[in-house]
A and B are shown apart, each in its own frame.
Chain A
């Protein structure tokens, strides 16, 4: 089965700094990739997703992610973070083999200092 690794457990940035959160998956076949965000006290919500086409995907709130198939990666980026981006970020994957089985990474907690 596929699995997801998020190597950054806790990232602390100052406002206006650039963000890149790493996500690697282990599955050799066709995958669908997602980034979810969980703001303090709120539901998980979808930031962006990739399933085909342009490997550079733009999501809500200025986030983007790039799918690099050769590196099995789907890193999340934002050029300039805000205090309101403080949240936990989860990368997730489903495979073409079983697209009902979504696997999540352990999550990365982002703290943005004002």
Chain B
């Protein structure tokens, strides 16, 4: 299994540009999530999904959209990038329940100029 994969690894955007961060998992996990990691703030949950077609907001959802059309994929869209969205983004998945182990991807480092 490849586990949780993310593309791209690095990205530089200009303010106002849009882009999609890709996340895929091959473990047939129901739950997937997106976090951002900022210095001194740990990881903060952006959006999550408990299954195909079901998404919900986390702690910091503003400026981000998600959809979950398949079990495997959970893309994160930035509609109009802002410098405040400069961060490292992690995707994660787990089989189902909250006590299950959550597996993280390698991260995407995004810089917005």
Contact = CB atoms under 8 A, between A and B. Distances in A.
Interface of A: 1, 4, 6, 9, 32, 36, 43-46, 49, 51, 90, 92, 94, 99-107
A44 B106 CA distance: 8
B42 to A, nearest CB: 4
A46 B99 CA distance: 12
Given A32-B98, A100-B56, A106-B40, A43 B104 contact: yes
Contact of A106 (B31, B42, B48, B59): B42
Interface of B: 4, 31, 33, 35, 40-45, 48, 50, 56, 58-59, 90, 92, 97-99, 101-107
Contacts of B101: 46, 49
A105 B92 CA distance: 17
Contact of B45 (A46, A103, A105): A103
Contacts of B45: 101-103
A106 B98 CA distance: 21
Contacts of B102: 46, 102
Contacts of B41: 106
Contacts of A107: 42
B1 to A, nearest CB: 14
Contacts of B44: 104
Nearest to B99: A51
Across the A-B interface, give the 4 residue pairs with the lowest CB-CB distance, nearest first: A99-B98, A104-B42, A44-B104, A104-B43
25 contacts: A32-B99, A36-B104, A43-B103, A43-B104, A43-B105, A43-B106, A43-B107, A44-B92, A44-B104, A49-B99, A49-B101, A51-B98, A51-B99, A90-B42, A92-B43, A99-B97, A100-B56, A101-B48, A102-B33, A102-B98, A103-B59, A104-B44, A105-B42, A106-B40, A106-B41
